[in-house]
Structures are given as structure tokens and as C-alpha cells.
């Protein structure tokens, strides 16, 4: 390979979602030569890929956007919880304002990357046979880049249309007059169901575990209202870094048993009416530590669902008397009219908990009881090899040539949820062992990205060739992440947080559970203490 013929940059970012966009802008502004490699065809990252019907964000405005005034000053949304198209428009607008595309290579899939300690450079290969040499590599691949599809026999024999939700055709699928199926009831399955129940001739929803959905309280937000609020946007963007989940609200100080029953119900009713994630991460202090408090939230939630679903058998499947898992320990979806869909004669709920899908045939889906559910279109909403899968998928090798997949076979090991021992000068965002799954994306992404920019600037100022997370520091962090989780109810749920959704994947909490403010403080302290936990090698 001819070194001179290849691309040379200071920083290579992989992925053009929120992180990639923000980091490109900040690092370019700091004077670095930066490029983004993006596998897809446009900006948006996870929002570009997940263009399935009804896709919508569960964080409300303005917390789900970048804090860059050059973007937010003249940008307004239509709805409190923006839909997919608006998010696409937002990313186009970011590109227009920040001139991102001149430093972004689309359709560029990273197939391998390895750091060379002699040269102090990353050598990154792409599917089209090109190489990029960069001092810093920033995987900004999100937590949901590797889709998970169960290995049902006969999948390829299906005669109708079938798509995984994260690989949806951009020009959508028309289900009018057709028999459609949705497999999976995670956030994605819920959103597709809401959409398709309104247009399909028949819709069958295959549910293994009910989603304990929270009321969204969607509304249109007039432009004037948004513009009036912009005087406090800077304040709001600071405030969102003080909430456990990266929102402007957070858990209250009181535990469940410090409320009378009446007070607790009134409190939950207020959260419910708010209609955002406050019912999830703005509620009782001990909801994820104390089963009694947790059950109180579950019972409140269950009553809300039962008020909306007419058929008691269906209601029991959607909101069973015995909780399928502790409340909130799997990601709840925000819903608009999900439960009402099951009152329609064309919508059928099939529980596959004790009667699993065993195969796919040319005409449809077969369950263990031998029944063939005939359909024309299938949405496979079965989720992702979440959090750890995205980076493993990139084929990263440490300096000795070990694949990240092998290094993590007994569990992920990272330092601060930002670096990995054996991978010098590599920093990732929104990935394993950070508050990833428990935080509003843009909040955590900005905290981590600002940290990365500062580290790179400090290294350049001090003439550092590379830094590498120390193995013992990494072990301590991994233990810390595990200990935090063990104090909570989260390990009791078979969730993607726990890696439990993918057969054979190591069961462990993939994310940091002490919340965004504690995380921010910890990573800042390490930086201020002279990059504690890292080995620094000078030029
Ligand atoms: P999720 O949340 O992982 O949901 C996947 C769904 O698919 C979930 O309901 C699974 O049931 C179901 N599933 C998985 N395998 C099967 C099989 N074999 N049979 C039937 N059903 C199955 O993915 P999403 O795309 O909805 O959401 C991912 C995240 O993106 C979301 O949390 C937000 O943060 C945004 P299970 O619950 O495992 O029983």
C-alpha cells in the first residue's frame, strides 16, 4: 500500500449522527484536519437508518438537539416530540449551517482499523479498499448500529415484503389493503403498530414481552412559543446536564415510602400528565432499588392501560397483573394511541411468549402451536446487538492484532466509557459503560465530545504522541459499572441493557447507572488530574 496515496487527517470520525456532526464542527473549529466516514448516504446516524413508519423521538424539544446557537437560533420544530422527517430536515439544516458535507465521505464503510505505536497513527481500511491514516480515531457509531434478527428458518423464503426496522426502504412500504405483521414490541414495534394499525387491512402484532409504555402527550408547538423560549435555551442546555437522564428534570429526593398513598398517586398523576420521560427518570428516588416503590409505579401504570383497552384478555396481555419485569428496567416507549389500536377489529395481538415463532414460510409466520399466520408484509422490529455490538462490528484490532470481539468475549472492558486499553488515541461516544441507554442522546454526546476535544487539545499542546487507558484503570471502571448495576433492579430484566436479547451474548449491564451529572463530574476529574488512568507517551 502506498502511504502517500491515502487520506491523512488529524482526526477520523466514524459515523455522521449527532456525535459525528458535533465533533466535526468542534474539532474543525479548533484547527484540526477532520473527516467523517459514514456508511450511509446522509447525515443523521441512527435517525437515517431507522426510517420505519412512525419513527419518532421520545425526548421532547428543545432538549433533543445540539446546543449550538448557530443551529438552534433559527431552527424550529413542529411537534413536541419530533418525527423522523423533521429529524432528517434538522440534520440537513445542520449541514447547511455548519457546512458538514465537505468533510464527510458517505457510502464509506470501515472494515478494519488498527493503531501503530511506532508511527502513532491509526490505519483505517474501508470497504472500497482505501486507507485513512489518522492520529485520532473517534468511533461515533451509536448504540444501535448492529441489528439483531432471530435466526428463524425459512426467513428468505417469505414471498411478501420483509424488512428489519433499521434497514427500511426510504420510500416506505404501503400497507393499505394488505395483511401486515409487526414482530417485536420494543420502542420500534410500538411505533410501527401505531402507524400501520391505521392503514393496513389486517395487522398482527407478535408480542413476546409487553412494552410498559408511557403516555407521550404529543402536541404541536407553535413557532412563536418556541421563539419566545429561546431566551432561556442556553440555560436549558446547561440544566439538561444536571438531570440523571440528561433531561431538565430528575428524580425527586423522596423515596416511595415517604409519600402517603394519596400523595404518591397525585405525584404519579402529575408525572403522567407531563407525558415525557419524567415517569421514568423523574420519579421516586428509590424506584430502581426498592421493589415496593417499583410495584407502586407498575400498578399505577397498569390501571392507566386497562382504562383504555376494551377486551380484558387483550388488556391482560398488554398489562398483566404480574409485572413481566420491574417497572422501567426495560426501555419504556412513549406512546400516543398505541393501546387504542388494540380495540380495532383489524388489529390482532398474538403473544409469542409461550408460543414462539418457529419459522417463516412463503405465506407467513408459523408459531409453535403449528398455526400459520398468513401475511403480505412483515416488519421485523427485533432490535439490536445493542451498545457493544456497534463497535465490535467495526473490526477494531488492538496493537497486537486481537479483535475487540475476542477481547470482550467475557464482558466489555472500557475506561470511563470513552477509551479501551490496547486502542490508543481512540475515543468513542454513546457506547458501552457510559450512561448511554439512560440518557437523552445530545446531552451525553456533548459532554463526552467536549471532553474528547479538550483531551486532544491538551495532548497536542504537550507534544503527546499517544495516550492509552491503563489496564488496571479499565478493570476498576468495569467493576464500578457492574457494582452500580448490582445495587439496582435492572439486572432482573431480560433487556438489551443487559445484553439479554441476543442469544449467546454475555449477560451484563452495558451502561453506567449513576446518571449523567455523576458521570460528567467523574470524567472531568480524571482530565483535571492530568488524565489519570492513562499512560502518556511523548513524541
Ligand atoms: P428492542 O427494544 O430490543 O425490541 C425488540 C423487540 O423484539 C422486543 O419486543 C423483543 O421481545 C422482540 N423480539 C426479539 N426477538 C424475538 C423473537 N425471537 N420473537 C419475538 N419477539 C422477539 O428494539 P427496538 O428497535 O424496539 O428499540 C431499540 C431502542 O432504540 C429503543 O429502546 C430506543 O432506545 C431506541 P423481548 O422484549 O426480548 O421479549
Among the atoms of ligand 1, which is closest to the Cα of residue 356? 19
User: CB-side exposure of 103: number of CA atoms within 13 Å?
Assistant: 26
- What order of strands is seen across the sheet that includes strand 7-14? 104-105, 34-37, 7-14, 131-139, 121-126, 110-116, 396-397
Among the atoms of ligand 1, which is closest to the Cα of residue 357? 19
Percent composition of the chain: helix, strand, coil (DSSP 3-state, to 5)? 35, 20, 45
| Nearest residue by C-alpha to atom 30 in ligand 1 | 187
Cα–Cα distance, 352 to 274 (Å, whole number): 33
Task: Compute the distance from residue 228 Cα to the ligand 1 centre, in Å.
Answer: 39
From start to end of 322-471, where are the E strands? 334-335, 347-351, 357-361, 364-367, 372-374, 377-380, 396-397, 464-469
| Nearest residue by C-alpha to atom 16 in ligand 1 | 382
Residue 377 to residues 96, 160, 200, 380, Cα–Cα distance (Å): 37, 6, 10, 10
Task: Compute the distance from residue 532 Cα to the ligand 1 centre, in Å.
Answer: 38
Among the atoms of ligand 1, which is closest to the Cα of residue 187? 26
Q: Cell 421485523 maps to which residue?
A: 380
| Nearest residue by C-alpha to atom 25 in ligand 1 | 383
Interacting residues of 74 by C-beta distance below 8 A, sequence separation 6+: none
Task: Compute the distance from residue 381 Cα to the ligand 1 centre, in Å.
Answer: 6
Ligand 1 pocket mutation, candidates 48, 150, 331, 383, criterion most atoms within 8 A of CB: 383
Note the pLDDT of residue 1: 53
Ligand 1 pocket mutation, candidates 64, 87, 184, criterion most atoms within 8 A of CB: 184
What cell numbers appear for 330 in the block?
426495560
Among the atoms of ligand 1, which is closest to the Cα of residue 383? 23
| Nearest residue by C-alpha to atom 36 in ligand 1 | 209
Q: In terms of DSSP bridges, do strands 104-105 and 131-139 run parallel, antiparallel, or are they unpaired?
A: unpaired
Q: Would you give the end-to-end CA distance of the chain in angstroms?
A: 25
pTM of the model as a whole? 0.97
Among the atoms of ligand 1, which is closest to the Cα of residue 501? 38
Q: Which residues line ligand 1 (CB under 6 A)?
A: 144, 150, 165, 183-189, 206, 208-209, 331, 352, 357, 381-384, 496, 501
Among the atoms of ligand 1, which is closest to the Cα of residue 353? 39
Ligand 1 pocket mutation, candidates 44, 335, 501, 511, criterion most atoms within 8 A of CB: 501
Task: Compute the distance from residue 518 Cα to the ligand 1 centre, in Å.
Answer: 29
Note the pLDDT of residue 2: 62
Among the atoms of ligand 1, which is closest to the Cα of residue 184? 7
Note the pLDDT of residue 390: 95
What cell numbers appear for 205 in the block?
402484532
Task: Compute the distance from residue 148 Cα to the ligand 1 centre, in Å.
Answer: 9
Is 0.95 exceeded by the ipTM?
yes
- Find the helix or strand (DSSP H, E) in which 104 lies: strand 104-105
Nearest residue to 338 via CA among 166, 195, 179: 195
Please state the φ and ψ torsions of residue 104, each to the nearest 5 degrees: -125, 130
Note the pLDDT of residue 271: 98
**What count of residues does the chain have?**
539
| Nearest residue by C-alpha to atom 28 in ligand 1 | 383
What cell numbers appear for 260 in the block?
402517603
pLDDT in tens, the chain (539 residues): 566 778 999 999 999 999 999 999 999 999 999 999 999 999 999 999 999 999 999 999 999 999 999 999 999 999 999 999 999 999 999 999 999 999 999 999 999 999 999 999 999 999 999 999 999 999 999 999 999 999 999 999 999 999 999 999 988 899 999 999 999 999 999 999 999 999 999 999 999 999 999 999 999 999 999 999 999 999 999 999 999 999 999 999 999 999 999 999 999 999 999 999 999 999 999 999 999 999 999 999 999 999 999 999 999 999 999 999 999 999 999 999 999 999 999 999 999 999 999 999 999 999 999 999 999 999 999 999 999 999 999 999 998 899 999 999 999 999 999 999 999 999 999 999 999 999 999 999 999 999 999 999 999 999 999 999 999 999 999 999 999 999 999 999 999 999 999 999 999 999 999 999 999 999 999 999 999 999 999 99
Amino acid at each position: 500500500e502506498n502511504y502517500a496515496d491515502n487520506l491523512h487527517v488529524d482526526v477520523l470520525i466514524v459515523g455522521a449522527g449527532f456525535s459525528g456532526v458535533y465533533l466535526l464542527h468542534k474539532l474543525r473549529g479548533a484547527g484540526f484536519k477532520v473527516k467523517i466516514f459514514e456508511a450511509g448516504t446522509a447525515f443523521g446516524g441512527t435517525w437515517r437508518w431507522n426510517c420505519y413508519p412512525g419513527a419518532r423521538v421520545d425526548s421532547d424539544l428543545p432538549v433533543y438537539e445540539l446546543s449550538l446557537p448557530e443551529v438552534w437560533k433559527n431552527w424550529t420544530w413542529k411537534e413536541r416530540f419530533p418525527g423522523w422527517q423533521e429529524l432528517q430536515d434538522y440534520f440537513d439544516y445542520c449541514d447547511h449551517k455548519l457546512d458538514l458535507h465537505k468533510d464527510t465521505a458517505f457510502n464509506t464503510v470501515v472494515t478494519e482499523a488498527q493503531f501503530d505505536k511506532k508511527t502513532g497513527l491509526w490505519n483505517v481500511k474501508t470497504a472500497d479498499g482505501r486507507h485513512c491514516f489518522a492520529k485520532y480515531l473517534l468511533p461515533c457509531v451509536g448504540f444501535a448500529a448492529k441489528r439483531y434478527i432471530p435466526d428463524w428458518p425459512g426467513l428468505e423464503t417469505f414471498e411478501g415484503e420483509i424488512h428489519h426496522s433499521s434497514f427500511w426502504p426510504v420510500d416506505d412500504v404501503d400497507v393499505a389493503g394488505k395483511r401486515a405483521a409487526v414482530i417485536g414490541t420494543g420502542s420500534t414495534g410500538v411505533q410501527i403498530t401505531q402507524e400501520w394499525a391505521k392503514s393496513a387491512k389486517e395487522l398482527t402484532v407478535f408480542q413476546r414481552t409487553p412494552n410498559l409504555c408511557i403516555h407521550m402527550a404529543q402536541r404541536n408547538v407553535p413557532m412563536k412559543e418556541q421563539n419566545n423560549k429561546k431566551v432561556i435555551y442556553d440555560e436549558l442546555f446547561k440544566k439538561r446536564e444536571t438531570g440523571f437522564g440528561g433531561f431538565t428534570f430528575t428524580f425527586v429526593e423522596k423515596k416511595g415510602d415517604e409519600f402517603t398513598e394519596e400523595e404518591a398517586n397525585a405525584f404519579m398523576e402529575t408525572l403522567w400528565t407531563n407525558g415525557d420521560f419524567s415517569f421514568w427518570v423523574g420519579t421516586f428516588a428509590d424506584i430502581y432499588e426498592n421493589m415496593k416503590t417499583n410495584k407502586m409505579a407498575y400498578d399505577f401504570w397498569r390501571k392507566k392501560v386497562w382504562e383504555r383497552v376494551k377486551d380484558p384478555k387483550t388488556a391482560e396481555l398488554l398489562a398483566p397483573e404480574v409485572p413481566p419485569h420491574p417497572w422501567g428496567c426495560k426501555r419504556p416507549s412513549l406512546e400516543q394511541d398505541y393501546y387504542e389500536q388494540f380495540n380495532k377489529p383489524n388489529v390482532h395481538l398474538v403473544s409469542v411468549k409461550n408460543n414462539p415463532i418457529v419459522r417463516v414460510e412463503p405465506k407467513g409466520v408459523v408459531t409453535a402451536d403449528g398455526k400459520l399466520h398468513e401475511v403480505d408484509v412483515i416488519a421485523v422490529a427485533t432490535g439490536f446487538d445493542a451498545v457493544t455490538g456497534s463497535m465490535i462490528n467495526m473490526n477494531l484490532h488492538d496493537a497486537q492484532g486481537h479483535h475487540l470481539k475476542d477481547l470482550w468475549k467475557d464482558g466489555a472492558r472500557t475506561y470511563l466509557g470513552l477509551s479501551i486499553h490496547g486502542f490508543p488515541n481512540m475515543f468513542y461516544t454513546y457506547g458501552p459503560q457510559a450512561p448511554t441507554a439512560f440518557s437523552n442522546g445530545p446531552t451525553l454526546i456533548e459532554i463526552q465530545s467536549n471532553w474528547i476535544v479538550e483531551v486532544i487539545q491538551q495532548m497536542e499542546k504537550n507534544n503527546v504522541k499517544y495516550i492509552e487507558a491503563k489496564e488496571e484503570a479499565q478493570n476498576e471502571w468495569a467493576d464500578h459499572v457492574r457494582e452500580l448495576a448490582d445495587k439496582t433492579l435492572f439486572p432482573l430484566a431480560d433487556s438489551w441493557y443487559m445484553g439479554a436479547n441476543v442469544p449467546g451474548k454475555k449477560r451484563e449491564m452495558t451502561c453506567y447507572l449513576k446518571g449523567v451529572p455523576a458521570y460528567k463530574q467523574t470524567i472531568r476529574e480524571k482530565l483535571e488530574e492530568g488524565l489519570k488512568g492513562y499512560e502518556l507517551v511523548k513524541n
